[in-house]
Structure 1
Amino acid sequence: MYDHVADAIGAPDPIRLDAGLVCLRFESMKVVSALAAVRHLLDHGVVRPGATLLDSSSGIYAYALALACHRYGMRCHIVGSTTIDATLRAQLAILGATLEQMEPSDDLKLDQSRRVARVAEILAEHPDHHWMRQYHDRIHYLGYRAVAERLRAEVPGPLTLVGGVGSGASTGALAGVLREHAPDTRLVGVQPFGSVTFGSEHVADPDIIIAGIGSSIPFGNVSHTLYDTLHWTAFGAALSGSVELLRRHAVFAGLSSGAAHLAARWELRQDPTRTVVFIAADTGHRYADSVFARHAEAVPLDRLAPLQVSGTDRLALPWCRMDWRRRPAWGPASTGPPSTPGA
């Protein structure tokens, strides 16, 4: 029996969808990360019970940190994105977390920059607050070890792991643990167009930058050398992946999960000798109107194929794939390596 609802929410469900294809489904993935991080801080005396934990979030991590603080008797303060909806605002308030939400903006880069600036102001005003630094502190890797060990025990190898890159903690931690026992484990990262992490900031998606799997600023928790392959998906392609995941397998998951589902099916087609596991990081409820109500727009996945590119300057909507080959970040903005001449 679980001692707190956060423990139940953080526990993933591996679901076999087809031969060689597994969905690692979370109700809210970052809960497992936040719980382990807060527990580690308390155990090592970095923070004391009742201290205020602070961070910036577009939504999922805000909920995760609020739950972890509720579980361990901490205070929680969130500088939130303009994208946080009324449902989450109510949950945060009832859980005892305080939220400062950015003013409405269509520019998510500006939204993110404002949040970072506000965190700095709060720390200057309240030096006793602890900044969780979900994008930069490797403490957020800790919670995924148990998840990786479960995968290793339940899912036959060799494995290919597919997931949104985001802060880098989930896919990075899972791949790192899996490779301790199976170095041939492949890691496939999924990015939205417009993200700086692997160099697509020059390609604009007119519909949306998929929240949670990309970034407008470099993240220290992303280890570029862990990734074998990258996929970039536009909103329409990710929508098709989400709708097909629900229609074919009854898994109701978010937009980043749809993008990972799309990429995972392609990777399985390229090498059917491997078991492909993709991460479904959250449920689809917050996408009911923006994605699932538009299910008639979904394109059958067998009609979609990625453009194979050799460099980030060749990226183009709606879907691209690139062999990254565990290379380091290129340049100060972590924008990825240059293209191969003549490719």
Structure 2
Amino acid sequence: MDDHITDALSRPAVLRLDERTTCLRFETMKVASALTAVRHLLDRGAIARGDTLVDSSSGIYAHALALACHRYGLKCHIVASTTVDATLRVQLEVLGATVEPMPATPSLKLDQNRRVARVREILRDNPRHHWMRQYHDEVHYLGYRPIADLVRRELGASPLALVGGVGTGASTGALARYLRETDPDTELIGVQPFDSITFGSEHVRDPDIIIAGIGSSIPFANVDHTLYDTLHWVGFDAALAGSVALLRDHAVFAGLSAGAAYLTARWEQRVQPDRHVLFLAPDTGHRYVEAAYSRHRQATPVDELRPHQIDGTDDMSLPWSRMRWNRAPAPPAAVDVPDGAGRLVTR
């Protein structure tokens, strides 16, 4: 029996969609990383009960951090993206979090930059607050070890290809790192939106982008680019097609990044027939109903889609591009500049 809802939310459903495809389906994936990160910081004495934890979020991490703070008797301050909807905001407030929404902006890039700048202002005025640094601190990798262990128990020694949104790098990067302890040949396939600097797609605009949580307009220090074998850049229309297909074919109601990962997983099945493909569905589809699922009748059948196979990032194009990354280092624009905030490395 679990002692707190975070225990249950930290465990994904392991769904075998067919003989060669498995979905790790979470309600709120970042609970696993936030919970373990907070517990680790408490154990080290870096924070104490009653302290205030602060961070910026576009949604999933805000919920995860508020739940972890609720469990461990901590205060929580969230600088919220314009993508945080009323349903989530009410949950955060009832959990005891202070939610500071950013003003509406037509640019998710501007929204992300302003959120981080606001966090710095809060820390300047409240030096005892602790910045969780979900974009920069590898402490967020730690919570994925139990999930990697679960994967190996469920799938055995099958050669794996792991597919998922890159985001801050903690979920896919951590799972690949831990899975490679027993199988160094585990393939890691990252999913990115267009207009993200993390893997060099900032020059390609997607006018309908609302999957910014898996990409970034600023450098993320805890993305280890050298872990990734292949990258897929998936636009809104292709992600919508994948999301609708995942729900229609397998009854899995998940967010747009899960749809993009499902689309990617189907393709990787074709090009890597000797591997079992495991993909991540990090959240439910509820907050995408109006902006995405309401267009389900317009969604392209996934069998009609295929990625542009490219050899360099200059060649990518909508709605979907694929490139072998071959565990190369970060592109120059994605390299984080140290800011003296005391990055905690936990490799």
TM-score range normalised by the length of the shorter chain: over 0.9
Structure 1 unaligned regions, length at least 5:
336-343
Mapped partners of 2:298, 2:235: distance in 1: 14
Mapped partners of 1:333, 1:319: distance in 2: 21
Deviation at 1:7, TM superposition (A): 1.2
Let me know the Cα RMSD of the aligned residues: 1.0
- Please state whether the residue corresponding to 1:212 is helix, strand or coil: helix
Deviation at 1:19, TM superposition (A): 1.6
Mapped partners of 1:222, 1:300: distance in 2: 32
Match status 1:267 vs 2:271: no
Q: In 1, are the aligned partners of 2:170 and 2:222 still within 8 Å (CA)?
A: yes
- Residue number in structure 1 paired with 2:86: 86
State, as a whole percentage, how many aligned pairs show the same letter: 67
Q: In 2, are the aligned partners of 1:162 and 1:187 still within 8 Å (CA)?
A: yes
Partner amino acid for 1:166? G
Q: In 2, are the aligned partners of 1:76 and 1:98 still within 8 Å (CA)?
A: yes
Deviation at 1:153, TM superposition (A): 1.3
Number of residue-to-residue matches in the alignment: 335
- Residue number in structure 2 paired with 1:121: 121
Mapped partners of 2:230, 2:91: distance in 1: 37
Partner amino acid for 1:221? N
- Residue number in structure 1 paired with 2:190: 189
- Residue number in structure 1 paired with 2:75: 75
Mapped partners of 1:115, 1:300: distance in 2: 37
Match status 1:257 vs 2:258: yes
- Residue number in structure 1 paired with 2:325: 324
- Residue number in structure 2 paired with 1:338: none
Mapped partners of 2:88, 2:76: distance in 1: 14
- Residue number in structure 1 paired with 2:175: 174
Mapped partners of 1:123, 1:289: distance in 2: 35
- Residue number in structure 1 paired with 2:53: 53
- Residue number in structure 2 paired with 1:16: 16
- Residue number in structure 1 paired with 2:30: 30
TM-score, L = length of structure 2: 0.95
Mapped partners of 2:182, 2:92: distance in 1: 39
Q: In 1, are the aligned partners of 2:241 and 2:300 still within 8 Å (CA)?
A: yes
Deviation at 1:334, TM superposition (A): 4.6
Deviation at 1:48, TM superposition (A): 0.7
- Residue number in structure 2 paired with 1:296: 297
TM-score, L = length of structure 1: 0.96
- Please state whether the residue corresponding to 1:142 is helix, strand or coil: helix
- Residue number in structure 2 paired with 1:158: 159
Cα deviation 1:182-207 (Å, max 9, x = unaligned): 00000000000000000000000011
Cα deviation 1:211-263 (Å, max 9, x = unaligned): 21000001001000000000001100000000000000000000000000000
Partner amino acid for 1:274? R
Partner amino acid for 1:203? V
Mapped partners of 1:254, 1:48: distance in 2: 34
Partner amino acid for 2:268? E
Deviation at 1:333, TM superposition (A): 3.1
- Residue number in structure 2 paired with 1:229: 230
Mapped partners of 2:235, 2:143: distance in 1: 30
Q: In 1, are the aligned partners of 2:108 and 2:212 still within 8 Å (CA)?
A: no
Mapped partners of 2:70, 2:267: distance in 1: 40
Mapped partners of 1:58, 1:291: distance in 2: 17
- Please state whether the residue corresponding to 2:226 is helix, strand or coil: helix
Q: In 1, are the aligned partners of 2:221 and 2:335 still within 8 Å (CA)?
A: no
Q: In 2, are the aligned partners of 1:198 and 1:334 still within 8 Å (CA)?
A: no
